[in-house]
Chain A
Amino acid sequence: MSTASQPIETTRGAGASLPIFPIWLGILGIMLVIGLVSAAFVLIEGLEVTNLSNEVPWGLWITIDLAAIALGAGAFSLSAIAYILRVKSYERIARVAVFVGLTGYTSAMLALVMDIGRPDRFWHPTVYWNIHSVLWEITMCVIFYSMVLGIEFGPLVLESNLVKSRFKAGPRIAHQLHRLTPVVAIVGLGLSLLHQSSLGATYGVLVARPIWFKPSLPVMFIVSAVAAGAMFTLAMTVFYETLRRERVITLQLRNSVAAFGGLTMLAYLYLKLWDYLATTYYSHLPARIDDLNLLARTTPYSSSFWLVEVLLGALVPAVILLSPRLRRFDAWVIVAGVAGRGRDHRQPLERDALWVDRAAGLVAGRGGGLPHQQLSTRAGRVGRGDWRAGLCLDDVHAGVALPATLPG
C-alpha cells in the first residue's frame, strides 16, 4: 500500500484538517504537569499518600515500574534482529524501538525512585552489593542497559541537524559509535535477557507466596516482554505515522514485525496454558489452592484472568497481528499493541495487588500469601488493622499441621 516516507492517503475526511500533532503535544504536556505535581507530592509527603500499607506493601506502583521496563524489550529483540542477525530492513524499526526503550527505562527508573522509601539512597545498590538478591541484579542490569540504550541512541542525536550545526565533531563520534553497534547490541541482548527474566524471578523466588512461587515466572516474563515489546514498538511507530501523516516503515516490515509479535504472543499463551494446567489443574499444592480459592471467592480474579489477561490481553492482539486483513488498519495495530502491552506478564501481579486491595486486606499484598475460610472470617471481624495476625494464624495452622505429618 505505502512505502517508507510516503504520505498516508487520508481517508478520514474531517480528521484530516485537525492539527493532530500539536494537540497530541498538548495532551503530553498536560500529563507531564500532572506527573510532576504528583511526583512532588509523593517526595514531600512520603509513600503514605499512595494508600499502600503494611498489608499491601507492593501494589499497582511496582507493576507500573515493571511495565515500563517491558517497553525496552522491543529495543533488545528488534535490535538483535537488526544488528546481530543483520536483517537490514529491521534497522528502521530498531531505531524506533531504541527510542521507545529509552523512554521506558528512564520512566521506570524515575518511577522506582518515587517508589522506594528513601529516594536519596537510590544509589545504594551500586555500592552495597547483595549478589543473592534478584532485585540487586535487576538494578545493576537496568543501569547498564540504560547506558547501552544511550550508546545506541547517541548517534541519532549527534547526527540530527540541531546538533550537527553546533557541534562539528558530532557526526564523527556518531560514526565511531555506529561501528560499536553490533557489540553493543550483543551486550544489550545479554543484559535484557537477564533482567527481563529476573523481573519474573523477583516474584518467582518468594517461597512464602505460593501463587507466585514457581520457576515458570522468569520464562513467562521474558517471552511476554519480547512479544509485548515488539507489539508496542509497532503500535508506537504506527501511531507516530498517524500523527505525522507519513509512513516511516514499509508495509513489508510492518507485516513482518506484526507476525513476530503475534507469534511470540501465541508462544507465551502456550507457556501460560501449561503454567495454569501444571500449577492449578493437574496439581494441588494446598497453600496455592487455598489462596486462589480465596481470591476467587472475594474478588473477580477468575473472570479477569480469562477475559482481561488471556482473551483481551493476549489472544485478541495475537489474532489482530496475525490476520493480514486486520493488521492493515492502523487503529487495529495500535489497539493490539496497547492491549498486548497492557497485558504482558505483569498484569497478574497487578491483579493480585489490586483485587487483594479490594478484598480489604483479606489476602493482603502477600499477593495471596494467604488462605483459609476461617481466617478470612476472622480477619474480616478484626478488620484490616489487626490483619497481620491473620497471616500468623495461617502460619500457626501450617506450623502445627506440619510436624503432625512428619515422622519422628
Chain B
Amino acid sequence: MLIDLKKCIGCDYCVYACQAINDVPDDMRWNVHFVDKTETGNVFHITRPCMHCQDAPCVSVCPVVATYVREDGIVIMDYDRCIGCRYCQVACPYGARTFNWESRDGASGYQAQWGAAEVERRARGVVEKCTFCVHRIDRGLANGLVPGVDRAATPACVNICPVEARVFGDLKNPDSKISRLIATQPTFRLREDLGAEPNVYYIPPEGMSL
C-alpha cells in the first residue's frame, strides 16, 4: 500500500470504512489517523494501517504460529489458533495490534453509514489486526479480479478515500500502478531502521525533504 501524505486531508473516511467493513470498535481501531507537523511547520495528516512487514516482529514472536506472512506479503491472524498471550502486541513497533479484552455486544456502529460488516466479529481473548481486507482480495482473485484495480478486490480504506491518497496493488509486479509510483516518486517507510521491512510506503507531505 502507498499513502500519499501530500493528498491526505484527514477526513477519517478510511478509519470509519475500516471500522464498518471489519466491524472494529472505536477503542480497537486497525487504522488510525493523527496530525503532525513537518520541521518547516507544515501541518499534515497521516493514517496508519498495519505495515504488513515482510520480516514482521509480531510473526517471529508468536509461540503458536497464529500469525504469519502470506506468500503475497499480507500478514494475517488465525483467530482460532491465537492463545491471547499478547506477545505480538508487545513486539509490534507500530502499535498495529489490539486485543479483545472483553466480549462485544452489537456492531461497531459504523455500518449504517459506511457499509455492512463483511467479516465475523473476533472472540474475546484473541489479538486482531488489519488484514488489508484479505477476504476481498481472495474472493476477487478467485473471480479473476485485480486487487487495487477492481473495487471488489480492494481494501475498504482505499476505495473510500475521496482524494485517492491510498493506492493498493501488487508490489511484486513491477508494472502495477503502485510499483510504478514507488519507482518514480520519493517515498519513505516508518521506522525502516528496525529492519522489519514494512510494506506500506508513504509519499512525504509538502515541506518534508527525504
Q: Which residues of A contact B (CB under 8 A)?
A: 46-48, 52-54, 57-58, 115-118, 121-122, 124-125, 128-130, 132-136, 139, 202, 205-209, 365-367, 369, 385-386, 388-389, 391-393, 395-400, 402-404
14 A–B contact pairs at CB < 8 A?
A47-B125, A52-B101, A54-B27, A121-B64, A121-B81, A124-B66, A129-B65, A130-B63, A392-B34, A392-B94, A393-B36, A395-B190, A399-B188, A402-B193
Closest to A208 in B: B93
Cβ-defined contact, A117 with B100, below 8 A: yes
Q: Which residue of A lies closest to B5 (CB)?
A: A396
Which residue of chain B is the closest to A54 with respect to CB atoms? B98
A58-B86, A133-B62, A133-B63 known; A392+B32 contact, CB < 8 A: yes
In the complex, what distance in Å separates the CA atom of A116 from the CA atom of B60?
A: 18
**B189 on interface, CB distance cutoff 8 Å:** yes
- CB atoms of B32 and A389 under 8 A apart: yes
- Mark B193-210 against chain A: 1 for CB-CB distance below 8 A, else 0: 111100000101000111
Also in contact, A128 and B189, with CB within 8 A (given A54-B89, A54-B99, A389-B32) = no
Contact assessment for B81 and A130 in the assembled complex, using a CB-CB cutoff below 8 Å: no
Are the C-beta atoms of A392 and B48 separated by less than 8 Å?
Answer: yes
Q: Are B81 and A124 in contact, CB atoms less than 8 angstroms apart?
A: yes
Would A135 and B191 count as touching, CB distance under 8 A? no
In the complex, which of the residues B27, B65, B83, B193 has the most CB atoms of chain A within 10 Å of its own CB atom?
B83
The 8 lowest CB-CB distance pairs between A and B, nearest first, are A117-B84, A117-B125, A208-B93, A389-B34, A136-B63, A399-B190, A48-B102, A135-B63
> A133 near B83 (CB under 8 angstroms)?
no
B65 touches A128 (CB 8 A): yes
B29 within 8 A of A: yes
Nearest-neighbour CB distance to chain B for A361, whole angstroms, equals 12
* CB-nearest residue of chain B to A367: B90
**B46: interface (CB < 8 Å):** yes
Closest Cβ neighbor of B82 among chain A residues: A118
Residue interface mask B23-51, A partner, CB < 8 A = 1: 00011110011101010000000101000
Best-surrounded residue of A58, A366, A391 (most CB of chain B within 10 A): A391
Contacts of A206 in B (CB 8 A): 57, 61, 90-91
- A208, B57: Cβ atoms closer than 8 Å: yes
Please indicate the chain B residues that have their CB under 8 angstroms from the CB of A367 in the complex.
Answer: 90
CB contacts (< 8 Å) of B32 on chain A: these are 386, 388-389, 392
Check B61 against A117 for contact (C-beta < 8 Å).
no
Q: How many Å lie between the Cα of A121 and that of B78 in the bound state? A: 13
Assess whether A57 is in contact with B99, with CB atoms less than 8 Å apart.
yes
User: From residue A401, how far is it (CB to closest CB) to chain B in Å?
Assistant: 9
B210 surroundings in chain A (CB, below 8 A): 400, 403-404
- With contacts A52-B101, A124-B81, A369-B93 taken as known, whether A133 is within 8 angstroms of B61 at the C-beta atoms is yes
Say yes or no: is B174 at the interface (Cβ < 8 Å to chain A): no
Q: Are B83 and A122 in contact (CB under 8 A)?
A: yes
Q: What is the CA–CA distance of A400 and B191 in the complex, to the nearest angstrom? A: 8
Residues from chain B with a CB closer than 8 A to the CB of A46 are 101-103, 124-125
A126 vs chain B, min Cβ distance (A): 9
Please indicate which of the listed interface residues A54, A385, A391 has the most CB atoms of chain B within 10 Å of its own CB. A54
Known A-B contacts A52-B101, A392-B48, A403-B188; A208 and B29 likewise in contact (beta carbons under 8 Å): no
Quick check: A208 and B83 within 8 Å, CB to CB? no
Please tell me if the beta carbons of B126 and A118 are within 8 angstroms of each other in the complex.
yes
A151 to chain B, nearest CB (A): 25
Q: Collect the chain A residues with CB atoms within 8 Å of residue B126's CB.
A: 117-118
Residue of B nearest to A50 (CB): B101
Task: Using CB atoms, name the residue of chain B closest to A138.
Answer: B63
Partner of B95, one of A205, A391, A399: A391
Contacts of B61 in A (CB 8 A): 132-135, 205-206
Compute how far the CA of A46 lies from the CA of B101 in the bound complex, rounded to whole angstroms.
7
Given contacts A47-B125, A135-B61, A404-B210, A392 and B100 within 8 Å (CB-CB): no
- Determine how close the nearest CB of chain A comes to the CB of B58; give it in whole angstroms: 10
User: What residue of chain B has the Cβ atom nearest to residue A130's Cβ?
Assistant: B65
The CA of A136 and the CA of B57, in the complex, are separated in Å by 15
Residues of A within 8 A of B93 (CB): 207-208, 369, 395
Complex: chain B residue closest to A53, CB-CB: B101
Please provide the chain B residues from 145 to 187 with a CB less than 8 Å away from any CB of chain A in the complex.
none
B36 contacts which chain A residues (CB < 8 A)? 393, 396-397
The docked-state distance in angstroms from the alpha carbon of A115 to that of B85 is 7
In contact, A207 and B194 (Cβ under 8 angstroms): yes
Which of these, A47, A54, A134, A365, contacts B28 with CB under 8 Å?
A54
- Beta-carbon nearest neighbor of B91 in chain A: A206
A52 cross-chain contacts in B, Cβ below 8 A: 101
The residue on A at minimum CB distance from B29 is: A388
Cα A289 to Cα B94 with chains together (Å):
19
Residue of B nearest to A391 (CB): B95
The chain A residue sitting closest to B48, CB to CB, is A392
A117 touching B86, Cβ below 8 Å: yes
Given A391-B94, A392-B95, 10 extra CB contacts under 8 A: A46-B125, A47-B99, A47-B101, A52-B101, A54-B95, A122-B83, A133-B87, A367-B90, A385-B27, A392-B46
